[in-house]
């Protein structure tokens, strides 16, 4: 049996070469999270090189009771930033 699904890979996408390696290995899309926050130009670089259909940005957010808003987290949801999530 053959399974045909879109395969998105995330984690460790810090530069264009990381994206290239995953897409050449068979992923249809790459997902950036920490890099989207720390180096947002990587999204543009990836979209210009591979096409915007290949790039997914994912943001981890958690409610912060002290500031009464949602804060952006990086590194798999372990490190809080001072950025607030807005709609």
Average predicted confidence (pLDDT) for the chain: 93
The answer to whether 57 and 64 are in contact (CB under 8 A) is no
- pLDDT 10s digits, 16-31: 999 999 999 999 999 9
Binning pLDDT at 50, 70 and 90, where does residue 60 land? very high
DSSP for 13-58?
A: --SHHHHHHHHHTT-SEEEESHHHHH-THHHHHHHHHH-GGGEEE-
Domain ranges of the chain: 8-84
Please give the structure tokens belonging to residue 47.
């979209």
**Per-residue model confidence (pLDDT) at position 5:** 84
pLDDT tops 80 at residue 85: yes
The yes-or-no verdict on residue 87 having pLDDT over 80 is: no
């Amino acid at each position: 049996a053959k399974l045909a699904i879109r395969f998105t890979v995330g984690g460790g996408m810090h530069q264009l070469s990381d994206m290239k390696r995953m897409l050449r290995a068979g992923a249809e899309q790459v997902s950036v999270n920490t890099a989207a926050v720390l180096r947002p130009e990587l999204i543009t670089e990836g979209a210009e090189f591979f096409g915007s259909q290949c790039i997914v940005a994912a943001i981890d957010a958690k409610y912060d009771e002290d500031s009464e808003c949602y804060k952006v987290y990086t590194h798999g949801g372990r490190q809080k930033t001072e950025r607030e999530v807005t709609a």
